[in-house]
């Protein structure tokens, strides 16, 4: 058979033949052939992915409407297929929007919003519909009812992959017992080999969404997770991008689309956390890059003391002023002798007092005094006169720049540099400004210093290394004056990529506070811990929530939680990954969260970690949640977070905060274990010693409980009953204060309880007493009873290992 390639070029040109076969590709058609990119790459994973997309949509819809979610998930065996049903009690969907939401890829309301949402791209649920129709040939069945309507809307539809549009086969109204909500029913080729991943997804969703009730019914099991709080996540608000992290292409696009004319208006109107002061800082940074700075120089200096600034030198200030005054006076003509002399003297005096003077500062000095002289003498000092005066004064100020440069170089270089070397590089740097230029960028200044240093090395055999060069550049840049020119307008910046790059760097250099967090709804450390406690029977829990950070202009918050011990399997630690309250079930090894967990030396925190890297082998659960307006996933299936340095750093810091609490707990537990071991040994030895002492001395056997408490530095609680008086004595043998919550349960009514609270319940009296007992001190609770009574005491506030009760 003749191949297509072998026939190319027989008739028309090859390019024409190839062009005839080119056509646009529908996004639905693309994902129909690449369903694995969305998580539908196997029957087992496809079922989990479909459940995930439907449940995520349900949670988002309920929370946006302020409804505590009730979500029902059912999986049925349907012949050769599995039937998936997901119902929620959300606000429902209008008739017009149902076909687009379920039958059109890349259709949604959240993609352009900078606020936290589970769904964002508008692909997930419509991709599940696409997979369903592809594998079973059956349409999706959608029922939805809004609160305003008595009847529910019912649709059966598929995705027309050629046009990426919904193709509706049934549209009707129906009755539904739910007052509002949405139900979707899909049939697809699938299997239950990923049952554990499915259960993990549902369980983990319940952990980070404690406000939701979630029920899963599948062929072999029925799982139900009740809500533990009615508190919905905080409402989020859309924000503008943050200046830190915005990329060049994004900035160009923003510049082209903004309505602002000025840079200041653009910064304040298009970005968050930018007010007038921040905008001014950005513009100043931008001007440094775009216009450069103006070098500042001292006025003329005497030959005998050339490296000392004019303002610090005795005896020559008057001479300096005379040089500048004479030059200005010669430059000004036809303004009258007295007016000209006073103007020249005033300019010269101001230059001398100013110390270092830039060209812009000199212009301001000349303008100020020209305006005053005009008023005093009724003479006009126009632009031509002023420019002549500026040029004359500047010529005197910059007549010899070398001493100024020498002083700066000498200050920042080591004493090992001899005067000849410093003088040589100073002369060569000063020569770079002899072309009359007043402004220089930092990059140009670096080039000046590098060239001068290389020439000095070649000609004077004196070396100025990289560090010395950097110090010289910084010293020169520090004394240079920022320019007050207005920056180019927004359209001019947008037309020049290099200028836009200058603006971007200026934004990154500005000190801008972190982005607001009202666009995010973190779980909070309290609820992270509560969620872990709900699903894991552990001995220890800790959680942390970091402050907001920013990546790519999008703010994000990282939270971490740790559960340890108890019924958690003593095997490899479980790593639970979440993004915007959604569990990440697959691609654990490709996720930044897993990489960070592996990189931490868990042995420093008391966990078993062979080799000092990798997932620890211990009875622990490590949970990480990333809340962001735009989570950087590695693929469209949203199974793993990309390795972004800013995010990895925050994940590590969040985990370490919780891990420090774990370390304290484990250290304390080990200490208590040592105490118990020691106490057990004493409990074996002391009775034998007491017995022998009693035998040898003929005395009664000693009560060893008191001795045990004092040897172990325990808190000792004893009761003494003498007639109708009851005394409970708390003796603190430890070296720290003890906060005691003591409850003495008595079968007779107590009297005169010495400040304790008494509660009667079912014929018993609870004497509740709170006190702080200082180290080495004791405290007494005393009360009276009428007649015989039985006692039972409970003590809180002290670990069992540090407590001895003899009552």
Binding residues: 57, 88, 109-110, 119-126, 638
Q: Which two tokens stand for residue 668?
A: 């304390």
| Helices marked H in 34-184 | 43-64, 98-103, 124-136
What's the full length of the chain, in residues? 807
Residues near 138 by Cβ (< 8 Å), separated by ≥ 6?
81, 132, 187
Provide the greatest CA pair distance for the chain. 129
Residue 598 burial (10 A CB sphere; 0-12, 13-18, 19+): middle
Residue-by-residue DSSP string for 451-484: HHHHHHHHHH-----HHHHHHHHHHHHHHSBPP-
For residues 373 and 339, the answer to whether their CB atoms sit within 8 Å is yes
Radius of gyration of the chain measured on its C-alpha atoms: 40
Q: Which two tokens stand for residue 437?
A: 């230029």
The answer for 580, left when phi > 0, alpha when psi is -120 to 50, beta otherwise, is left
For 359, other C-beta atoms within 10 Å of its C-beta total 20
Q: What long-range pairs does 320-323 form, CB within 8 A, spacing at least 24?
A: 320/348, 320/351, 320/352, 321/345, 321/348, 321/349, 321/351, 321/352, 322/348, 323/299, 323/348, 323/396
Q: What is the DSSP letter of 566?
A: T
Please give the annotated binding residues for ATP, written as ranges.
57, 88, 109-110, 119-126, 638
Look-up of token digits 């040939």:
137
Q: What is the DSSP letter of 554?
A: E
For 95, other C-beta atoms within 10 Å of its C-beta total 16
Look-up of token digits 């707990």:
665
Across the beta sheet with 803-806, the strand order is 750-751, 778-785, 725-732, 715-722, 803-806
For residues 545 and 565, the answer to whether their CB atoms sit within 8 Å is no
Residue-by-residue DSSP string for 209-258: -TT-EEEEE-SS-EEEE--S---PPPPP---PPPSTT--HHHHHHHHHH-
Q: Which two tokens stand for residue 31?
A: 């994902």
Cα–Cα distance, 452 to 460 (Å, whole number) = 11
CA distances (Å), 107 to each of 111, 122, 164, 450, 632, in order? 9, 5, 10, 56, 20
Q: Which two tokens stand for residue 265?
A: 């208006």
Q: Which two tokens stand for residue 103?
A: 């039958």
For residues 732 and 715, the answer to whether their CB atoms sit within 8 Å is yes
How do strand 540-545 and strand 70-78 relate by DSSP bridges? Answer: unpaired
For 518, other C-beta atoms within 10 Å of its C-beta total 14
Cα–Cα distance, 393 to 30 (Å, whole number) = 72
The answer for 800, left when phi > 0, alpha when psi is -120 to 50, beta otherwise, is alpha
Cα–Cα distance, 704 to 720 (Å, whole number) = 17
CA distances (Å), 280 to each of 246, 277, 358, 408, 512, in order? 19, 5, 21, 29, 12
Closest CA to 39 of 591, 641, 639, 630: 639
For residues 268 and 576, the answer to whether their CB atoms sit within 8 Å is no
Q: Which two tokens stand for residue 498?
A: 């290099």
Look-up of token digits 């973190």:
522
For residues 580 and 116, the answer to whether their CB atoms sit within 8 Å is yes
φ/ψ of 618, rounded to 5, equals -155, 170
């Amino acid at each position: 058979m003749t191949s297509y390639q072998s026939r190319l070029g027989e008739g028309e040109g090859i390019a024409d033949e190839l062009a005839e076969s080119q056509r646009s590709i529908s996004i639905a058609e693309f994902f129909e052939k690449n369903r694995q990119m969305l998580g539908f790459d196997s029957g087992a994973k496809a079922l989990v992915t479909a459940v995930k997309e439907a449940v995520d949509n349900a949670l988002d819809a309920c929370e946006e409407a302020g409804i505590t979610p009730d979500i029902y998930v059912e999986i049925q065996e349907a012949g050769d297929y599995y039937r998936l049903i997901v119902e929620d009690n959300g606000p429902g969907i209008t008739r017009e929007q149902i076909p687009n939401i379920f039958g059109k890829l890349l259709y949604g309301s959240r993609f352009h919003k900078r606020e936290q949402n589970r769904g964002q791209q508008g692909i997930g649920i419509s991709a599940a519909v696409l997979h369903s129709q592809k594998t079973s040939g059956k349409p999706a069945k959608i029922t939805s009812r809004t609160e305003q309507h008595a009847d529910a809307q019912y649709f059966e539809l598929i995705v027309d992959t050629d046009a990426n549009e919904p193709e509706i086969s049934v549209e009707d109204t129906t009755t539904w017992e739910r007052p509002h909500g949405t139900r979707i029913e899909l049939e697809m080729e699938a299997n239950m080999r990923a049952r554990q991943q499915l259960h993990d997804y549902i369980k983990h969703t319940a952990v980070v969404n404690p406000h939701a009730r979630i029920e899963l019914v599948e062929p072999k099991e029925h799982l139900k997770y009740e809500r533990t709080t009615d508190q919905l996540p905080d409402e989020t608000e859309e924000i503008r991008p943050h200046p830190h992290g915005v990329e060049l292409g994004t900035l160009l696009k923003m510049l082209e689309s903004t309505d602002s004319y000025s840079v200041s208006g653009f910064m304040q109107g298009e970005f968050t956390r930018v007010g007038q002061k921040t905008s001014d800082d950005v513009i100043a940074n931008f001007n440094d890059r775009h216009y450069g700075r103006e070098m500042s120089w001292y006025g003329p200096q005497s030959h005998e003391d050339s490296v000392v600034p004019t303002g610090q030198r005795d005896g020559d200030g008057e001479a300096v002023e005379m040089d500048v005054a004479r030059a200005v006076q010669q430059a000004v003509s036809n303004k009258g002798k007295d007016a000209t002399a006073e103007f020249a003297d005033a300019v010269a005096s101001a230059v001398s007092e100013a110390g270092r003077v830039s060209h812009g500062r000199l212009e301001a000095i000349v303008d100020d005094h020209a305006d005053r002289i005009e008023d005093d003498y009724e003479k006009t000092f126009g632009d031509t006169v002023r420019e002549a005066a500026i040029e004359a004064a500047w010529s005197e100020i910059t007549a010899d720049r070398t001493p100024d440069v020498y002083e700066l170089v000498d200050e920042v270089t080591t004493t090992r540099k001899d005067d000849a070397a410093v003088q040589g590089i100073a002369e060569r740097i000063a020569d770079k400004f002899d072309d009359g230029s007043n402004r220089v960028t930092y990059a140009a200044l670096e080039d000046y210093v590098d060239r001068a240093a290389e020439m000095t090395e070649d000609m004077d055999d004196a070396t100025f290394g990289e560090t010395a060069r950097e110090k010289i550049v910084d010293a020169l840049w520090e004394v240079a004056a920022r320019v007050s020119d207005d920056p180019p307008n927004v359209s001019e910046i947008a037309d020049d990529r290099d200028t836009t790059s200058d603006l971007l760097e200026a934004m990154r250099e500005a000190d801008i506070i972190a982005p607001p967090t009202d666009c995010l709804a973190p779980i909070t450390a309290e609820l992270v811990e509560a969620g872990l406690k709900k699903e894991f029977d552990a001995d220890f829990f800790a959680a942390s929530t970091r402050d907001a950070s920013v990546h790519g202009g999008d703010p994000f918050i990282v939270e971490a939680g740790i559960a340890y011990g108890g019924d958690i399997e003593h095997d490899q630690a479980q790593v639970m990954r979440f993004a915007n309250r959604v569990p990440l079930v697959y691609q654990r090894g490709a996720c930044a969260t897993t990489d960070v967990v592996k990189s931490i030396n868990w042995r420093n925190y008391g966990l078993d970690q062979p080799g000092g890297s990798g997932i620890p082998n211990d009875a622990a659960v490590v949970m990480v949640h990333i809340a962001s307006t735009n989570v950087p996933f590695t693929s469209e299936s949203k199974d793993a977070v990309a390795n972004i340095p800013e995010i990895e750093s925050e994940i590590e810091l969040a985990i370490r905060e919780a891990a420090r609490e774990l370390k304290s707990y484990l250290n304390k537990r080990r200490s208590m274990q040592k105490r118990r071991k020691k106490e057990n040994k004493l409990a074996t030895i002391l009775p034998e010693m007491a017995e022998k002492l009693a035998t040898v001395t003929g005395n009664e056997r000693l009560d060893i409980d008191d001795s045990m408490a004092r040897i172990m530095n325990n808190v000792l609680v004893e009761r003494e009953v003498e007639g109708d008086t009851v005394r409970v004595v708390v003796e603190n043998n430890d070296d720290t204060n003890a906060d005691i919550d003591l409850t003495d349960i008595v079968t007779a009514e107590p009297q005169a309880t010495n400040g304790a609270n008494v509660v009667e319940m079912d014929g018993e009296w609870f004497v509740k007493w709170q006190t702080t007992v200082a180290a080495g001190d004791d405290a007494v609770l005393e009360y009276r009873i009428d007649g015989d009574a039985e006692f039972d005491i409970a003590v809180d506030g002290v670990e069992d290992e540090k407590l001895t009760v003899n009552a």
